[in-house]
């Protein structure tokens, strides 16, 4: 588990360090992919005898910083006020190629009987739901700003993957509405 935290931190740190002359990072969606893949891996490897793995802190410590990063980068894109060059938009959206599989694996990991039972047992349904909802909201704003400043982006398959992923997060969060 510590290794996953180190990898997530290193990813965030390297993304911040590798910004060229742009005022915003092109690696934000890569952070989304890496962080959520790490969460899925942890949930899938979870030992049913260790319910402390599934706590509000488990989700919040990973998703809240990610949500803050997404919002921060969306604001930077918006404040730039400049059209995003199509090649930059393609690079920015490239990690979204994996989002259909990521949506499925995240939902599957959270639906697993032992994981769902641990979430209910730890009484963190609202924490999980609000973390996912916050991520969905941040990504929706990010997607909106990318669309606003990138002409003809609607025809980009990875952009459409991002839009579908945002929608899938609403469905995933709704799984914890009444638990």
How many angstroms separate the CA atoms of 118 and 49, rounded? 10
Q: Is the pLDDT of residue 22 over 80?
A: no
114 lies in some domain:
yes
DSSP class of residue 94 equals G
46 lies in some domain:
yes
30 lies in some domain:
yes
State the pTM of this model: 0.82
Q: Is the pLDDT of residue 47 over 60?
A: no
Q: What is the pLDDT of residue 19?
A: 42
120 lies in some domain:
yes
27 lies in some domain:
yes
The CA-based diameter of the chain, rounded to the nearest angstrom, is 52
Q: What is the pLDDT of residue 12?
A: 54
179 lies in some domain:
no
Of the candidates 25, 4, 41, 33, which has an alpha carbon nearest to the alpha carbon of residue 98? Answer: 33
Instruction: State which residues form the domain around 90.
Output: 2-174
Overall domain count for the chain: 1
How many angstroms separate the CA atoms of 19 and 79, rounded? 17
Q: Is the pLDDT of residue 142 over 90?
A: yes
49 lies in some domain:
yes
Distances (CA, A) of 117 to 6, 125, 158: 28, 10, 34
Q: What is the pLDDT of residue 178?
A: 79
Q: What is the pLDDT of residue 2?
A: 58
Of the candidates 79, 69, 74, which has an alpha carbon nearest to the alpha carbon of residue 140? Answer: 74
| Pair of tokens at residue 86 | 């199509």
41 lies in some domain:
yes
């Amino acid at each position: 588990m510590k290794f996953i935290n180190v990898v997530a931190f290193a990813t965030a740190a390297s993304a911040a360090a590798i910004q060229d002359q742009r005022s915003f990072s092109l690696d934000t969606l890569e952070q989304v992919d890496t962080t959520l893949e790490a969460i899925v891996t942890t949930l899938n490897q979870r030992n049913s005898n260790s319910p402390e793995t599934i706590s509000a802190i488990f989700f919040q410590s990973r998703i809240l910083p990610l949500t803050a990063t997404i919002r921060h980068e969306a604001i930077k894109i918006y404040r730039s006020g400049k059209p995003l060059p199509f090649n930059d938009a393609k690079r920015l959206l490239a990690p979204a190629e994996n989002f259909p599989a990521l949506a499925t694996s995240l939902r599957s990991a959270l639906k697993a009987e032992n994981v769902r039972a641990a979430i209910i047992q730890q009484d963190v349904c609202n924490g999980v739901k609000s973390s996912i909802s916050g991520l969905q909201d941040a990504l929706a704003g990010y997607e909106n700003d990318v669309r606003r400043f990138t002409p003809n982006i609607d025809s980009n398959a990875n952009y459409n993957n991002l839009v579908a992923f945002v929608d899938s997060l609403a469905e995933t969060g709704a799984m914890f509405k009444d638990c």
